[in-house]
Amino acid sequence: MDSKLDLLLRSFTFYISSILSIIRYFLTSFSRFKQIPSAFTVSDTCISLYFRLLGLSPVSIHVDDETTLHFWASRGRSGGRDRKPDDERPNLVMIHGKCGDSRWQFMYQVGHLSRRFDLYIPDLLFFGKSYTTRKERSEAFQAKCLAEGLRKLGVDRFSIYGISYGGYVGYHLAHMSPDRVEKVVLMSTGVGCNDDQKDKMVAKLGRDPKELLVPRTSDDLRELMYKSVYKSNYMKLIPDSFLQDYLNDIGSIHRKEKMELVDHLLAKNSDAGRSLPVLAQDTLLIWGNKDYVFPMNLAYQLQRHLGSKARVAIVKDAGHAVNMDAPDQVNRLIVSFILG
């Protein structure tokens, strides 16, 4: 009886403190504005609140004297309430792509996945609140910093889910940490594509890829969205002012460095296929059959390179952003693969 009363009291205290935290969060978020917040600002604040309600907390990790990584991490690793050993779940590291930060890219997935995993969602360097004064711009450097950040968070073993550019980073992370990474999910990524394939993809865009991947105007961002999301009719309803506010608040951060990341990604590497390591982990490759950016043949090309440990899951009527076109199906694929 005493244990039940204690549990009830602790639960009541937790929910009351959560409500007070929510109120304080809104007041703090909006107090700095001298006018009515824009629709984007309200949306951005609500997404952060949603992450908090799911048990995720923001935390910044100093990787070294020049590098800081920001995470959204499950409580217990980020300074929040501790979880009992019998409540421990598998750790899943979710790595975003170039278009957005950790919150905006995974907002359709954290609700479902947070019920099955302890989540660690970093902002890669030069996205969100993550930054370095070092000059490295490689995906391997991103992975090295991420590995160290997770170590400092106390995350010893984990699986990876990487989208697009995040897939490149995740691939390097899995290769350099085979004793820590359990399983790998890569989605819509160009890992392993050669110079000819890169040239064809750039020619298909018909313009400088940096203008799309690091958009400056609402028109550029809208074009990027149309090329990434197959089921994009609803995007016609998004006003230009909302998109421009997004760019001003999120997209303009470290713009120069983000363009340097694109330059490194597209740099010529004639031995890309031969030098690409084979991962030791079981790997799931998720692809949309309408991917305009990285065509479906790249999924099977990477599967052949990885061998028997890799399998491909094709999602019908989905583009490059499969996580936005078919989030429920992607969530089911991830859960069944990692927990299976």
Summarize the confidence of residues 24-45 as an average pLDDT: 62
CATH topology of domain 39-339: Rossmann fold (3.40.50)
In the chain, what are the domain boundaries? 1-32, 39-339
Q: Look at residue 80 and tell me whether its pLDDT is greater than 70.
A: no
What is the average per-residue pLDDT within 18-47?
61
Query: Of 1-15, 40-54, 162-176, 264-278, where does mean pLDDT reach its minimum?
Result: 1-15
Residue 279 has pLDDT above 90, yes or no: yes
The per-residue pLDDT for 173 is 98
pTM of the model: 0.86
Decide if pLDDT at 43 tops 80.
Answer: yes
Q: 181 has which bridge partners?
A: 158
First to last CA, the chain: 38
pLDDT at 257: 96
Position with higher pLDDT, 206 vs 296: 296
Cβ neighbours for 62, distance < 8 A, ≥ 6 positions apart: 68, 152
pLDDT cut 90: percent of the chain above it: 65
pLDDT score at 82: 42
Tokens in use for 176?
Answer: 């350099």
pLDDT band at 327; cut points 50, 70, 90: very high
Residue 35's pLDDT is: 54
Cβ-count burial 253-289 (b if 16+ within 10 Å, e if not): bbeebbbbbbeebbeeeeebeeebeebebbbbbbbbe
Predicted confidence (pLDDT) per residue in 108-167, tens digit: 999 999 999 999 999 999 999 999 999 999 999 999 999 999 999 999 999 999 999 999
Report how far residue 99's alpha carbon sits from residue 102's, in angstroms, rounded to the nearest whole number.
Answer: 10
Question: Across all residues in the chain, what is the average pLDDT?
Answer: 86
Amino acid 151: pLDDT: 97
Band the pLDDT of 190: cuts 50, 70, 90. Answer: very high
Q: Are 164 and 100 in contact (CB under 8 A)?
A: no
pLDDT band at 77 (very low <50, low <70, confident <90, very high): low
Per-residue pLDDT of 205-247, as tens digits, reads 888 889 889 999 999 999 999 999 998 878 888 899 889 988 8
